[in-house]
Amino acid sequence: MHSGTGIGLLLLSTLLLLSACGSNPYPGEEPNTLHVYLKDAIKSIDPAHAQDEISNICVLNLYDQLYEYDYLARPFRLVPCLAEAMPEVSEDRLTYTIRLKRGIQYSDDPCWRGKEPRTFDAHDVVFCFKRMMDSHTKSTGTWIFDGKIVGLDEFRKVSADVKKNPNRDRYTTKDGYPEVEGVKAVDDYTVQFKLTEPYPQFIWTLAMGYTSMYPREAIRHYGKRFLDSAVTTGPYVIESIKRDKKLVLRRNPRYREDRFPTNGTEEDAKKNRTQDAGKLLPLSDRVVATVFKETQPMWLYFQRGYLDRTFIPKDNFDGAVDPDTFELLPEMLERGIHLDKDPKMEVIYDCFNMEDEVIGTPAGEKGLAIRRAISLATDNEWAIKHLYNGRATRVDGPIVEEFVEYDADFRNPWKKRPEETREQALAKARKILADAGYPGGKGIPVIRKDIVDNDINRTFFLAFQRDMADVGIRFEAFSVTWPEFLRRLNAKKAQCWGISWGADYPDPQNFFQLFYGPNKAPGVNKSCYENPEFDKLYEEARPLLEGPERTRLYRRMQEIVTDDVVWSFRYRRVQFSMIQPWTYGFRFNDMGEKYFKYCRVDGAARDKGVAAVNKATVWPVFVFFGALVFVISVTAVSAGRRTRGW
């Protein structure tokens, strides 16, 4: 190819790129459209499979549940959604009677076969619960009701022997299913739940994505295709869906009367959250949720005004936030962008397989010594500063600050204390190892740590590996895919791994269940930890409501698991949300990002802002590419001289 032709093609491609960068990627769309991001592909929008974060976000914003979180209230509390009021609870706390709102219609859909959509009723509640617990559905949410509702475990067991039918729209005794006493429609608008024992967290589960409501006609019509379909009473219906690219929602014309909350605070007013108090929801006519598997394209979209909110990728943090004050840089403030900072309801930790011969219970005191030394030697402060840009905070145990049982004076005895130096913590770790017969780590076999193979996880592992070398403990990475990782945890094959657990509801029991012996893998207790004292206290605390006795039990349970170092407790992240000045109503909720219906944009302000930022950024790009073309041209001429005209 002649150099002139090559330069010509380069110029053409450059101009095309500039044209694409400078143009609106959403030409001709409706002005009242909210643009949000999704960090990964959508696996399913079937509520029974709302396990991963992205699927759960989509489900929560498409569907209604019996209850939902009061959008602006902190501490978290629930309010009725499809329910008419909060449950009527029997004196023994075993029977919950819930009365439903009347006249709520489902969305238009082919499943109605040309007829008017019917209204939501109590029989839908019964159907959705049974379908989730049907073993053929393979729902990832069955753990929230295992052993909790009368007859539901037996139903699940028997369902395995009934012929599989993905289009099943009824569960009858004629088909071989048993009656479920614990989930019954008393009448068309009253549903009753009977529990096997008091379950204080039960009310929280009725706001989860798993317990979203849909009609049996949708399952009969769509069957396996229900993972891409939504028949809902919620604020939006699907306009289009490509699970690895984009989900577009439009206003559901049959949505019930629902209004923006009026309990906003002065702080909410400063954050553009109260301007629409009392207005009908949803505020936006359309929502476009774009999948960004890489953070840089997402960040560029936000910078150019094509996303209405985003988080800040690690590599872009210093370009948006002052690392000393953690406030927005002047250039961001000049554009009117504002920043929300919300601690996530989670614990990030390194987990140990307690059945492992080297670091687990079979190794006795030697295994305990290794776990304690690992916890002490882990440099969490360095990781928070360098791997999280300071956007994480210390965690000492499973009871985080938002829980009423939190003890501000509690300190994990096997974690570097805030007032200690790293060298002091390392000295403790080395002494523990020496006392256990492992001076300088000698005699400890190489320990494998499972990591899901990607650049970020490899970086985190190298930092951890360096920390462990300071006390002589050798680690090697065992790289796996995410599905392989889950399979290894369920099969008890992993030795050590890093992971996070985000709370499903605001109660420490959601974390403590991960240490309960009967929940061993393949259950949620992936560490396979068993401690008779802990299990006894867990069972005592399980039926208790908030109060001094439950607080006492919870705090003792925290002492047990931290002293046994089942986990090396590390930190929790702080969510930094960037919101455009024309965006109103956004409030982060780590219990479930159900925010689409509460948000809107000022279309005129957005058009003006987008035009200004793109006008300001186009000319430097032309200058840069002009210089680049000049350099390439000179290089091509020089190369031509050396290659005799090529």
Q: What is the pLDDT of residues 558-597, one digit of tens each?
A: 999 999 999 999 999 999 999 999 999 999 998 889 999 9
pLDDT of the residue at 29: 85
Q: What is the average per-residue pLDDT within 111-129? A: 97
**Residue 566 is assigned to a structural domain of this protein:** yes
Q: Which two tokens stand for residue 327?
A: 């406030």
φ, ψ of residue 248 in degrees (nearest 5): -115, 125
Last residue of a domain, one of 167, 198, 222: 222
Please state whether the peptide bond connecting residue 198 to the residue before it is cis, i.e. omega within 30 degrees of 0: no
- Domain with residue 478: its CATH number is 3.10.105.10
CA distances from 89 to 63, 86, 93, 125, 537 (A): 25, 9, 6, 18, 25
- The pLDDT-based confidence of 646 (bands split at 50, 70, 90) is very low
Q: Which of 575, 592, 627 delimits the end of a domain?
A: 575
82-94 tens-digit pLDDT: 999 999 999 999 9
What CA–CA distances, in Å, run from 366 to 358, 430, 448, 533?
8, 13, 17, 21
Per-residue pLDDT at 464 = 98
Beta bridge mates, 601: 583
pLDDT in tens, 6-17: 444 444 444 444
345-354 confidence digits (pLDDT tens): 999 999 999 9
* Global pTM value: 0.87
pLDDT at 16: 43
Rounded CA separation 142/156 (Å): 9
Considering the domain architecture, whether residues 303 and 401 belong to the same structural domain is answered as no
- Quick: pLDDT tens for 195-240: 999 999 999 999 999 999 999 999 999 999 999 999 999 999 999 9
Paired tokens of 25: 């990627």
pLDDT by residue (tens digit) across 264-273? 999 999 999 9
Name the pLDDT band for 617 (thresholds 50, 70, 90): low
Mean pLDDT for the stretch of residues 360-378: 97
Whether residue 195 is contained in a domain is answered as yes
Residue 326 has phi, psi (to 5 degrees) of 60, 25
Rounded Cα gap, residues 398 and 405, in angstroms: 11
In-domain check, residue 525? yes
Whether the bond between 506 and the residue before it is cis, its omega within 30 degrees of 0, is no
Q: Are residues 556 and 596 in the same domain?
A: no
**397, 464: one domain:** yes
Give the chain's mean pLDDT.
91
What's the confidence (pLDDT) of residue 636? 39
For residue 638, tell me if it sits in a domain: no
**What is residue 31's predicted lDDT score, i.e. its pLDDT?**
86
Looking at residue 633, its pLDDT comes to 43
Residue 541 in any domain: the answer is yes
Band of residue 23 on the pLDDT scale cut at 50, 70, 90: low
- What range defines the domain where residue 127 resides? 64-222
| Same domain assignment for residues 319 and 172 | no
CA-to-CA distance for 199 and 599, rounded, in angstroms? 34
The residue that leads in pLDDT, 278 or 31, is: 278
* Token duo for residue 435: 């006392």
Quick count: other Cβ atoms within 10 Å of Cβ 285? 15
Structural contact between residues 543 and 200, judged by C-beta atoms closer than 8 angstroms: yes
CB atoms within 10 A of CB 558: 25
423 in the same domain as 303: no
* 1 pLDDT more than 60: no
Q: What are 396-451's pLDDT values in tens digits? A: 999 999 999 999 999 999 999 999 999 999 999 999 999 999 999 999 999 999 99
The verdict on residue 3 lying in a domain is no
- Please tell me the distance from the alpha carbon of residue 570 to that of residue 583, in angstroms, as a whole number: 34
pLDDT exceeds cutoff 50 at 639: no
Give me the pLDDT at residue 616, please: 60
Does residue 84 share a domain with residue 172? yes
The answer to whether residue 623 scores a pLDDT higher than 60 is no
Mapping DSSP to helix (H, G, I), strand (E, B) and coil, where does residue 76 land? coil
List, for residues 136-152, the tens digit of each pLDDT value: 999 989 999 999 999 99
Q: Within this chain, do residues 321 and 389 fall inside the same structural domain, yes or no?
A: no
The Cα–Cα gap between 238 and 144 comes to: 28
State whether 357 and 425 are in the same domain. Answer: yes
d(CA 251, CA 49): 24
CA of 622: how far to CAs of 11, 238, 303, 617, 635, in Å?
Answer: 11, 39, 18, 9, 20
Query: Is the per-residue pLDDT at 505 higher than 60?
Result: yes
Same domain, 588 and 566: no
Residue 23 lies in a domain: no
Query: How far is C-alpha 69 from the chain's CA centre?
Result: 16
| pLDDT at residue number 332 | 96
Backbone angles phi, psi at 237, to 5 degrees: -125, 165
pLDDT in tens, 470-484: 999 999 999 999 889
Q: Does 180 fall in a domain?
A: yes
Question: pLDDT at position 237, please?
Answer: 98
Residues 169 and 247 in one domain: no
**CATH code: domain of residue 96:** 3.90.76.10
> Length of the chain in residues, anyone?
646
**Are 243 and 375 contained in the same domain?**
no
> How many structural domains comprise the chain?
3
- Say yes or no: 146 and 76 in one domain: yes
pLDDT above 90: residue 370: yes
User: Reduced to 3 states, what is the DSSP secondary structure of residue 392?
Assistant: strand
Q: What pLDDT sits at residue 90?
A: 97
Any idea which of 64-68, 165-169, 320-324 has the lowest mean pLDDT? 320-324
